[in-house]
Structures are given as C-alpha cells and as structure tokens.
Amino acid sequence: MSMTTRVLLGLLLGAAIGLGLAIWDPSAASTAAEFVKPIGRLWLNALQMTVVPLVAALVVLGVNTASNAAASGRVARNAIIVFLILLTLASAFAAFAAPLLLSLLPHDEAAATAFRTALAPAAPNADATTLGASIAAIIPSNAIAAAAQSAMLPLVVFSMFFGFGLTRINAERRARMLELVQGLADVMIVIVHWVLWVAPLGVFALVLAVCAEVGLKTLGALGGYILMQCCLYISVTLMLYVVARVAGGEPFKRFALAILPAQTIAASTQSSLASLPAMIDSARERLGYPLHVTSLVLPMAVSLFRITSPIQYMGVAAFVAWLYGIEIPTMHLVAGIGLAVIISMGSVGLPGQVSFMFTNMPVTQAMMLPVEPLAVLMAVDTIPDVFATVGNVSGGLTATSVVAKGASRDAELADHAGDDRTRVPDA
C-alpha cells in the first residue's frame, strides 16, 4: 500500500470517528480530542525538528546546481532566467489570487476558533514590526541564532550566501563541502521517511481532534482548500498559453495540440519525470524546437523548475491565514513570494509527502503563520496534485518555447554578423 493511500485512510478514519463522536456525544468527542492531541503534536514536532537543517542543505545544493547549469552555456543561462521570471510571476499571482478566492467562501469565526483549539497551535504570529526592522532582519546577524529560532527567511538568505560562496572556492574543496551538505540532506530525508512511516497515525490523531471539535464544518473548509488550489493551478496553466504566444511566438492552437499528449501523461502519472519523454517528443517532433535546446532545457526544467510549487506554497499560506483570521502584513507577503521562488528551485527532487511538508513549512513560518494545519492539508493534497503536475509539464514546455525563440533570434543575428564580415566591398 502506498504512503498516499495510507495517509488518506488515516484521514478518512479520523474524520469518520471524530464526526461520529461529535454527532453522538459532544462531551465524549471533546474527551477523545484531548486524548489524541498529544499524539498529533508529537508527530508534527518530529517533522519540524528536521526542517532547519534540511532546508539549509537544499538551498545550498540548489544554488550550486543552478550555478553549474548556468555555467554550461548561453542556452542554459537563458533557461535559468526564464525559470526565475515565471516562478516569480506565479508566486505573485497566487499571493493575490488565493485570498480573493478564499474571500468567496463563508468564514465561520466559531469554527476558526475551534480549529485553533483542536490543532493546538504554537505561539501566534509575531507582532508587526516597522518596515526598516523587517528589511534589516532579512540578513541575520547570527545565522546560528536564526536557525535556533526557526527564522526561515534569514536562514535561507544565509544559505544562499553560503551556496554562492562555495561556487568561488577551490573546485576540490567545493566538491568535498557539497558532498557533506548532500550527506546532511540525505540523513534528514531518511529521518523524515521514518517520521512519515507513522504519518497515518499522526494525521488520524490531528483530523480526529479537528472533526470532533469542529464537526462537519471541517469538511467544508478542506473542500474549500482543494477547490482553491485546483483553481489556482488551472488558472496558471491557462496563462502559460498566453506566455507561449507572447514570449515564445507560438500560436494558441498549435501549442495546445502539441503539448496535449504530454499533459495527458502528466495527469495519469502525476510525475513530471515520467512525462519527460512525451515532453521531448512534443518539443522536437510537434513544435520543431532545436535539439540542442530541448535536450538541455527540458531536463533542466524537470530538475529545477516546477511552476506550481510557489503557487502551492502561497495558496497554503493564504488558506492558513484565512482559517485563523490572520491578516498578513505586506512585508511578510513579499518575503513569502521571494522565499517560495527560492525554495521551489532547491526542492524539486523530494518525494511527495516530504516535498509538501518541507517546502510549505519554511514559507508558512516566514509569513509568521501557524504550521499545524499543514499536516491535515498534506493528506488532502492528492486531488490538486493532478492539476499541479499538468501545470508543471506545461510550464516546462512553455519555458522551452521562450528559450527556443531566443536561441533562434541569436542564431539569426550571428548569421547576419557573419554575412557582414564576409561581404566583399564594391569596387
């Protein structure tokens, strides 16, 4: 039985028991919720204890992977630039679109209060600070203190400096240091797999507590989350056709028909890697892009570029803020947008549940929001993930169209320059 199936069963069983107790005897439901809360809290703590070292290691590795790719030539550098631009636009879109979608849902303050009680959140979001203080806090005066306080944005900024610094030292020493960092990431992922092995129990306890204290309104809230994420993924996927038309010069119909086979495989497998052969076929045979572009950009896209990742992070953060009735300050929103781009570039290779928890946690924490709901949202993320994979495959092919157009333009300029140099002057 797959991990996803086990987690879903834990969620369904917890929801059934919690809702049944809430309907049958509210006092018994409250007693059961108090009994299982420590179990869910322990499981969530076990996940959180590995976030800081894993995120720091992944950012360092991501910076060096992107640096190595960019150093391989002009096409690769252009691809990295296109990836960053599209990720930033997607993150900003989700940051503003998600709250708008959530505003269409009814918000029950009593249910929100019950959610906060059931999930036993940690300290509430920090007090608002001045603009100058917020900017100054981005670069940590003490990186170890930032890590100890789980201050994710300063920690990620330090990790980026560390990663870029590694690119400037002796190659042999750099390789040894990266091997150490990769080993740290591997160990953390092993620990995470151990913790996720008991994820059905942790999710069962959390969902039982929420359903016992909130009741049927829990299902409405989770349904709203699923609907919001699906709408965001579909919206961005449709916008990619516009990007391919404007920046890639592709007619809508030609591009849509060419990428449809790859999108179909993405929807059925929920894996960008499994869709890579179909993506290459769409780019080479159906769209006619040069081999040197498709053979470089599409594998880079699979390993570095997942356009729906920042959408997910910002959507999750917006949902948590909506659920708890928290107003996100502008500086926290900007920090979340930037961090979502950075995290998405360094974490594409993580397995499903690992990826959800350890990419959403840093962004949620950086925006000063509680992370307790993430475990429940992880369990229901399977449905939106279908649309996310389709969006990722579409994003990779859209980025390829933009880079291919740039490569074609560069080739034409080079041909003209060559003609000018070889033209024989008139007598």
C-alpha count within 13 angstroms, C-beta hemisphere, residue 10: 27
Residues 6+ away with beta carbon under 8 Å from 356? 312, 374, 377, 378, 381
Decide if pLDDT at 350 tops 70. Answer: no
Task: Give the pLDDT score at 378.
Answer: 83
pLDDT in tens, 211-257: 887 777 777 788 889 999 999 999 999 999 999 999 989 999 999 99
Share of the chain above pLDDT 70, in %: 85
pLDDT in tens, 365-374: 888 888 888 8
Among candidate residues 217, 221, 398, the one with its CA nearest the CA of residue 297: 398
The dihedral region occupied by 366, where left means phi > 0, alpha psi between -120 and 50, and beta the remainder, is alpha
Beta strand residue intervals within 213-347, DSSP E: none
Instruction: Specify whether the CB–CB gap between 93 and 86 falls below 8 A.
Output: no
Decide if pLDDT at 125 tops 70. Answer: no
Per-residue confidence at 122, pLDDT binned at 50, 70, 90?
Answer: very low
Tell me which of 1 and 208 has the higher pLDDT: 208
State mean pLDDT over 271-279: 85
Q: Considering only 14-23, 207-216, 300-309, 414-423, which range has the smallest mean pLDDT?
A: 414-423
Per-residue confidence at 100, pLDDT binned at 50, 70, 90?
Answer: very high
Rounded distance between C-alpha atoms, residue 375 and residue 36, angstroms: 15
Mean pLDDT over all residues of the chain?
A: 82
Structural domains present in the chain: 3-411 (1.10.3860)
Rounded distance between C-alpha atoms, residue 331 and residue 136, angstroms: 12
Tell me which of 59 and 320 has the higher pLDDT: 320
Q: Burial level of 306, CB count in 10 A (0-12/13-18/19+)? A: buried
Q: Considering only 122-131, 201-210, 285-294, which range has the smallest mean pLDDT?
A: 122-131
User: Which range has highest mean pLDDT (76-85, 117-126, 354-363)?
Assistant: 76-85
Task: Give the pLDDT score at 66.
Answer: 74
Task: Give the pLDDT score at 76.
Answer: 83
Per-residue confidence at 379, pLDDT binned at 50, 70, 90?
Answer: confident
Task: Give the pLDDT score at 127.
Answer: 47
Residues 6+ away with beta carbon under 8 Å from 187? none
Decide if pLDDT at 121 tops 70. Answer: no
State mean pLDDT over 126-132: 50
pLDDT in tens, 171-207: 889 889 999 998 988 898 888 888 888 888 888 888 8
